Structure 1
Amino acid sequence: MTKNIAAGYRESDERREFRASTSGMLARLWRNDVLRDFPDSAQGKLAELNADIHRNMALGGILVAEEHGGLGATLEYATVAAEELGAGLAPYDLLGACMSAHMLNVVQASDRDLWLRRIAEEPRPFVFAWPGVDSWWNIRDVTPASVIRDTAWARFTYVPGLVGEPFLAVPAQRDHGFGVTLIDSATAVDRISVTEVPSADTLRAIGHLVLDGVECTYLPVPERAFTEAVMLGAILLSAEMVGAARTCIERMVEYGLLRQQFGQPIVTFQALKHAVVDAAVDFERARASVYRAARRADATSVDGSDGGLGEALMFARIAKASAGTALRSAAKLSIQLHGGTGFTWENLSHRYLKKWVTGNELFGSADAQRRLIYAQAQSQVS
C-alpha cells in the first residue's frame, strides 16, 4: 500500500489527529469497494447510508455549538471532514447540514435553538435549498420562497442532497425582507414535491423542489448570510473533490508500482511518471487553495466586514476552480493508467470521474468561477 500523500501536508497536531480519527472511523463504517455492488439506480439506499454515517460520526453538527449538541468546530475542521469523505467516496452529504447551520448561527431568535439541535442529533439529512447551477452566490440572483404569514411557496431546481424526508432550510422572502424558512418535510409530504434529477454521481442525490403552501418556521437573516452559506458549501464541495483527487493519485501510484512491463513498474516510465506528477501538482495547488479559502471564510464570519467577504469570495472561487481541475485530471489519468481494467465497472476510477462531472457543475463550474474571478479582479483594479 502506498503512503497516504495527505501525510506530507503541513497542519497542526490537533487537526492531524482529527483527520486521522475521521478517516479511521469512516473506514470502519464504509468501504468504497462495496460500490462495485452498488448500482446506478440505488438512490433509495442513499438515505439509509447517510443516516448510518451521521449516527456514528455526528459530522452534521460539526459547525453547531456544543451547547446545542454539536461539535463546535470551525469551517477548517469541516473542510478536513469533507476531504476525507471525498477520499472515501462516502455517501454522506455534509454540505446541507453545514450551510443550514451557518444560516442558523447568524439568527437572533429563540426558535433557532431547536433547529440547531436537530442538525446535530437527527439522523435525517438537512438540505439547504439553493439552486445548484447558480455560480453567483447572491440571494438577489435567485428566486427565494414566497412566505405569507407562516406558509411558503417555492420552486428550486437542481438542489443537492434531496434524499429521503429531509429537513429543509429554504431561502425565503417575506414583507420585502429576506430570511430562511425551516420545514420538516416528513410532516408535509402532500405539499412538497421532489423530482429526482439523473446525475453522473449517483452517490449525490439531486432534485427539483416545489413547495405548495407548506407550513413553516420563518426566521429573518442578514442578506450577506446567504452568500456566506453558499460560499461555505462551495468550499466543502471543493474539499470533497480534492479528497477524491488524492485517492485517485494514490491508487495510480499503487497500481503503477505493481504493474510490470519490460521488467519494471510502469509508473517508472517517463510518460506516465510525468503525467502522475502533473496530477499531483494540480492536487497540491487545489488543496492549498481549499484550506486557504476555509481559513479566510472563518475569519470573515468573525470580522463581518464586506471587504473581508469580497476577499473570501475570491479565495472560495479559486478553490472551486482548482479543485475541479485537479479531480478532472486525476480521474481521467487514473482510468488511462489502469489500462483496459480502468474502463470496467469493477475498477472504481469511473466513480471518481462521475464525482467530478457532478461536483464541477454544482455552485458554478471551474470555467464559470474563472470568469467570475477575472471579473472581480478587474473591478478591484478599475
Structure 2
Amino acid sequence: MAPTFTEEHEELRATLRRFLADKAPSEAVRRSMESADGYDPALWRRMSDELGLLGLALPEEYGGFGGGPVELGLVLEELGRALLPSPYLATVALAGQALAVSGDDTAKARWLPAIADGSLTGTLALAEESGSWHVDDVRAGAVPDRGGAGNRVSGTKMFVVDGHSADLILVVARAATGPRLFAVEGTAPGVTRTRLETLDPTRRLARIDLDGALAQPVGPKAADTTAYLRRVTDLAVVALAAEQAGGAQACLDAAVAYAKVRVQFGRPVGSFQAVKHKCADMLLKVEAARSAAYHALSVAATNPLQSGESSESPLSAAAAVAAVCCADAYTHAAKENIQIHGGIGYTWEHDAHLHLKRAKSSEQLFGSPATHRRRLAGLVGITAPEATKGRARGNP
C-alpha cells in the first residue's frame, strides 16, 4: 500500500524543490550549519510565511492546513535532498505530531497554533544515557508539584534533536502510573541544555539535564499511555525515513550526473561497466527505500490512534521496515556517491561527505537498523515478541 499522489502533492514537491534550490543551495547550507543557531531564522520564517510548511500537517482548528503524514513526508523528503539545517524535523515531525495525536485538546490549543505560525520551535526528548529509544527504559522521573502547578521532572535526556534551542521540550518521563509525556519550557528553571559534538554538522543534538523542572502532562490518561507513546515514536521513525529517502535520492542523482561528465581514458566514467553496476544497485536500493517510506506514510495516514489500542499497531511494522530500508539505502548511496566521485568526493568543499555524515548519524537516531530488524522479527512472529524488548543500545 502506498499513497496516491494528487496534482496538489506533485505541485507541493515541485514548489518546495525550486524554493530550496533558490534559497538553500550548498553555500547557504554551509553557512547555516556553522552559525550559532545551527539554522537560518530568516529562511525558517519564509518557510512558514511563504509556503505554510510549518502548519501543513497540523489540524485546521489549530492554525494548520489539515494535512497529515503523507504531506509531511513529502516535505521531509525534499528537506533531506537539500540537507537543509532547520528545526523542521524536531518541531513539526516530532513535537507537532506528538501533540496532534495526543487527544489532549488543552495541550493542542496551547502549543499547536504557535508551531503552525512559526513562532514556537519544539522537540521530543526520549533517549537517555543508556542510548536506548525504548519507552520502557526511561528513568527520568516526574512527581506532582507541591504547589499544584503541574509536575516536576528530573533526569537526563540525550541526543535531543535541536534541543539546544527548542522553545518547547516534550519529555518522556516516568510518573507514578508509568511513562508519560510532559511539556517543559526550554528556558524553564531547572533545565540545563548542552550542545553535543556530533558527526553530522547539519543537525544539532543536545543533552538536556532536568532538575525539578516544571512540566505539564500531555496526552491520554494512564490506560492509553503506552499506545500513545508508541504512536509518537513510530511517527518519528517514519518521518526520519522519509528524510533519509530524500537524501538517498540526492546521492544517486549526484553520482549519475558526475558519471556522465567525468572523462577518463577518453570516455565518460559512466560508460564503464563497474560504474554502471554501482549506479544500478543504488537505484534499486533508493526505489525500495522510497516504497517503504511511502507505505509507512500511508499506514500512518489511514490508521489513526484508537482508544484502547494495543501498544503495537499496524504502523509499528511499517515503521520498522521503513527504518531499515531507508537507513541502509541512504548509507549505501552516500558511500557509493563518494566512490564514484573519486578523490574530489573526499574533500571538504564537496557535499558528498555531508550526506555520508547525515546518513551515518541518522542510522542511530530513533534506533539502529539492527534493532529495528529485531523488533520487526518479533512483530511478524519470527521471534518471540518479548525478544524485541531487550535493552540493546538504540532499541526503539
**TM-score, normalised via structure 1 length:** 0.88
Distance 1:119 1:88, change over 3 A: same
Greater percentage in helix? 1
Distance 1:18 1:54, change over 3 A: closer
Aligned to 1:284: 287
Corresponding position: 1:77 with 2:77: no
- C-alpha distance after superposition, 1:67-106 (max 9, x if no partner): 2111211101101110000000011233322332333232
- C-alpha distance after superposition, 1:125-159 (max 9, x if no partner): 21111218989865323234413232322321222
AA aligned to 1:248 is: C
AA aligned to 1:26 is: L
SS of residue paired to 2:381: helix
Deviation of 1:109 after TM superposition, in Å, equals 3.7
Aligned to 2:316: 313
SS of residue paired to 2:366: coil
Corresponding position: 1:131 with 2:124: no
Q: Is the 8 A contact 1:289 1:318 kept in 2?
A: yes
SS of residue paired to 2:106: coil
Distance 1:234 1:53, change over 3 A: farther
Q: Is the 8 A contact 1:193 1:211 kept in 2?
A: yes
Deviation of 1:307 after TM superposition, in Å, equals 6.6
Aligned to 2:96: 101
Unaligned runs of 5+ residues in structure 1 are 1-8
Task: Determine the C-alpha separation between the residues in 2 that align with 1:47 and 1:169.
Answer: 23
Q: How many residues align?
A: 371
Write the mapping of 1:241-260 to structure 2, written as runs, cut at 5 A. Answer: 241-260=244-263
Q: Is the 8 A contact 2:38 2:204 kept in 1?
A: no
Deviates more, 1:233-242 or 1:293-302: 293-302
Corresponding position: 1:29 with 2:30: no
Write the mapping of 1:1-150 to structure 2, written as runs, cut at 5 A. Answer: 11-35=5-29, 42-46=35-39, 48=41, 51-52=44-45, 54-56=47-49, 57-97=51-91, 98-105=93-100, 106-131=102-127, 138-149=134-145, 150=150
Deviation of 1:350 after TM superposition, in Å, equals 0.0
Q: Is the 8 A contact 2:140 2:154 kept in 1?
A: no
Aligned to 2:369: 366
- C-alpha distance after superposition, 1:266-302 (max 9, x if no partner): 1111100111110110000010000101111222215
Task: Determine the C-alpha separation between the residues in 2 that align with 1:79 and 1:135.
Answer: 26
Aligned to 2:209: 210
Task: Determine the C-alpha separation between the residues in 2 that align with 1:232 and 1:289.
Answer: 14
Deviates more, 1:136-145 or 1:284-293: 136-145
Deviates more, 1:158-167 or 1:228-237: 158-167
Task: Determine the C-alpha separation between the residues in 1 that align with 2:42 and 2:363.
Answer: 23
SS of residue paired to 1:110: helix
Deviation of 1:225 after TM superposition, in Å, equals 1.3
Deviation of 1:175 after TM superposition, in Å, equals 3.9
Task: Determine the C-alpha separation between the residues in 1 that align with 2:238 and 2:103.
Answer: 22
Distance 1:54 1:348, change over 3 A: same
Aligned to 1:166: 167
Task: Determine the C-alpha separation between the residues in 2 that align with 1:177 and 1:205.
Answer: 30
Corresponding position: 1:273 with 2:276: yes
Q: RMSD between aligned alpha carbons?
A: 2.7
- C-alpha distance after superposition, 1:30-78 (max 9, x if no partner): 1124345567x54534373674455444433333211211121110110
Deviates more, 1:54-63 or 1:285-294: 54-63
Deviation of 1:15 after TM superposition, in Å, equals 1.5
Deviation of 1:192 after TM superposition, in Å, equals 0.9
Aligned to 1:4: none
Deviation of 1:204 after TM superposition, in Å, equals 1.0
Deviates more, 1:348-357 or 1:220-229: 220-229
Deviates more, 1:48-57 or 1:125-134: 48-57
Task: Determine the C-alpha separation between the residues in 2 that align with 1:50 and 1:154.
Answer: 34
Task: Determine the C-alpha separation between the residues in 1 that align with 2:68 and 2:178.
Answer: 29
Distance 1:132 1:173, change over 3 A: closer
Aligned to 1:237: 240
Identity of aligned residues (%): 25
Task: Determine the C-alpha separation between the residues in 1 that align with 2:98 and 2:320.
Answer: 20
SS of residue paired to 2:253: helix
- C-alpha distance after superposition, 1:174-229 (max 9, x if no partner): 4425532222223x2x4211122211111111111111122232234232111111
Task: Determine the C-alpha separation between the residues in 1 that align with 2:141 and 2:384.
Answer: 36
